[in-house]
Structure 1
Amino acid sequence: MPTYRDEVAVLRTHKLGEADRIVTLLSRRHGKIRAVAKGVRRTSSRFGSRLEPFMVADVQLYRGRTLDIVQQAESLGSYGAPIVADYDRFTAASAMVETADRLNEAEATSQQYLLLVGGLRALARGEHRSRSILDSYLLRAMALSGWAPGLSECARCGAPGPHPSFVAQLGGTVCDGCAPTGAARIDPATSALLRALMAGEWDDVAAAPTAATASASGLVAAYAQWHLERGIRSLSQLTAAEASR
């Protein structure tokens, strides 16, 4: 059918001509979508504000040859304003949508859509620390893409853990026998925090020591960027802001 509907999260937008935008969307049933939203930059646009980054909408699209065309958009989650108003939320959300945009079509599943929407909602509501929401999202997004980190057993030989080393290239925590020279050592608190972030055990996440939180964030960032095969620009901005405090 040339016309279809879907729920979408807006990942990014680009100007097109004087009044239009190209929008990149992660949808619930159709994977990633690139579409033209005509006239949305005009003040009279009926749905321009619903197609900004971090927004969630129910859209009707017309299937085009190269780019689809947005015909209608109804808001499902107005998360943009509260996210943009806070720098930590904004940079965390930017890293999340940037990660979602890196997914190839085979990985852009309904589970990825629901995970992203849940993360954006949590950020907009300030349910947890912004960096912790991001770290949990990154671990789960990698797992849904087939790169679940080994956190309770050795990622290389499967020996039961927890283990004292973390190597992104090997897939997570590794035992002393599998750890290469110079492997990053992690303490029990950091190891426990990584497992809590993966499982969404937020009481344990909130109770984690500050040092463990910082250490876990660094490991999660390294792990995600290794598997994405390039840096996450927004993540580096968030890290720099935290280091300056």
Structure 2
Amino acid sequence: MAEFPVEGLALSCRPLGENDRLLTLLSDSHGLIRLAVPGARRPKSSLAAAVPLAHLRLQVGGNRGLRRVRQLRLLRSYGGLGQQLETLAAAQALAELCLALVPDEVPAPGMLADLLLQLGRLEAFVREPQAGVEALAVAVQGSVHLLALGGYALPLGRCARSGEPLQPPIGDRNWRSSFVPADGLMIGSHSQARLVLNASELALLQRLVRPAPPRRRDGVLMGPPVVWLRLLELVACWCDEHLGRRPRAFRLLANSLNGLLESGAMDGDAPP
């Protein structure tokens, strides 16, 4: 096979042999593609930029077996997300979700663009005091987007049991919807429910299919951290049921946010 160019985001890297790396790249044109990066573990290698969360443009070749990277250009590194545990955990969770959703060597239009959008949002908050809850929100909304692109969209429009539209009556404190991972959301409280959402919580979840994060007019993120943690658990349960596993970084993110709430570093009682 002749050499060809490919652009994508490095989702994972691991050692290969003595000096090489095995790179798993997310691209529009090839979905997930696994490549050998010769000499990338040598300090002065021209291919040393093949590391996780690096946006790369590559020249790839090889006739059989594992294809090899011939040339590499670093377009952007998201390594700075490691300055905050929460932003790094959110980025890792979204990368793990792509690894579970995207098939090998099959085009995956839209996945790369959406993942890069979410990583850019994480970068904008990495040094901000509210980085924790913003990272949590990005992880939840990004997961909702990626699941839809990967063919496992959360069914947020209609009751899974009756087929009635899911139209949460904001302000009705008694209204409830039940989340059953095998089916979706149902109006009312049900014994099989993994989570029960009130009207405001469901309305917030439904807004996550939109491109922009849900914010008030003053720019503050809608919803308190405790609600975002509940939505993270809902997405995790959906992944367990339909993908067979949840991203491991979900737990790291949830534990970190719970720790911040318990320490009083974040206000968990703000109104949604």
* Global fold match (TM > 0.5): yes
- Residue 125 (structure 1) shift: 2.4
* Letter in structure 1 aligned against 2:243: L
* Letter in structure 2 aligned against 1:173: L
d(CA) in 1 for partners of 2:228 and 2:245?
23
- Residue 230 (structure 1) shift: 1.4
| Counterparts of residues 38-53 of structure 1 (less than 5 Å) | 38-49=38-49, 51-53=50-52
Show structure 2 runs of 5+ residues with no match: 169-176, 261-272
- What are the superposed Cα offsets for residues 152-204 of structure 1, whole Å, 9 maximum, x if unpaired? 3213442112361122210x32124xx74241210112111111222134215
| Counterparts of residues 73-84 of structure 1 (less than 5 Å) | 73-80=72-79, 82-84=80-82
Paired position in structure 1 for 2:85: 87
d(CA) in 1 for partners of 2:84 and 2:107?
28
Structure with bigger helix share is 1
d(CA) in 1 for partners of 2:62 and 2:205?
42
Paired position in structure 2 for 1:235: 250
Classify the secondary structure of the residue corresponding to 2:23. Answer: strand
- Residue 64 (structure 1) shift: 4.2
Paired position in structure 2 for 1:141: 146
- Whether 1:223 and 2:238 are equivalent positions in the alignment is yes
- What are the superposed Cα offsets for residues 84-118 of structure 1, whole Å, 9 maximum, x if unpaired? 12111111111111111112427760211211121
d(CA) in 2 for partners of 1:195 and 1:159?
15
Paired position in structure 2 for 1:186: 197
- Whether 1:159 and 2:164 are equivalent positions in the alignment is yes
Question: Highest Rg: 1 or 2?
Answer: 2
Change in Cα spacing, 1:213 to 1:174, as seen in structure 2 (3 Å) is: same
d(CA) in 2 for partners of 1:157 and 1:66?
51
- What are the superposed Cα offsets for residues 117-156 of structure 1, whole Å, 9 maximum, x if unpaired? 2122221222871111111111111111222212232134
- 8 A Cα contact 2:6 2:27, kept in partner: yes
- Residue 229 (structure 1) shift: 0.6
- What are the superposed Cα offsets for residues 187-223 of structure 1, whole Å, 9 maximum, x if unpaired? 1121111112221342158122333222222212212
Classify the secondary structure of the residue corresponding to 1:139. Answer: helix
d(CA) in 1 for partners of 2:151 and 2:167?
21
- Whether 1:67 and 2:70 are equivalent positions in the alignment is no
* Letter in structure 1 aligned against 2:42: R
Change in Cα spacing, 1:19 to 1:216, as seen in structure 2 (3 Å) is: same
Classify the secondary structure of the residue corresponding to 1:186. Answer: strand
d(CA) in 1 for partners of 2:161 and 2:6?
40
* Letter in structure 1 aligned against 2:37: A
* Letter in structure 2 aligned against 1:122: R
Paired position in structure 2 for 1:57: 56
- 8 A Cα contact 1:14 1:23, kept in partner: yes
Paired position in structure 1 for 2:269: none
Q: How many residues align?
A: 240
- Residue 74 (structure 1) shift: 0.9
d(CA) in 1 for partners of 2:112 and 2:190?
36
- 8 A Cα contact 2:24 2:32, kept in partner: yes
Classify the secondary structure of the residue corresponding to 1:43. Answer: coil
RMSD of aligned Cα (Å): 2.1
d(CA) in 1 for partners of 2:192 and 2:246?
22
Show structure 1 runs of 5+ residues with no match: none
- 8 A Cα contact 2:141 2:208, kept in partner: yes
* TM-score, structure 1 normalization: 0.89
Change in Cα spacing, 1:209 to 1:237, as seen in structure 2 (3 Å) is: closer
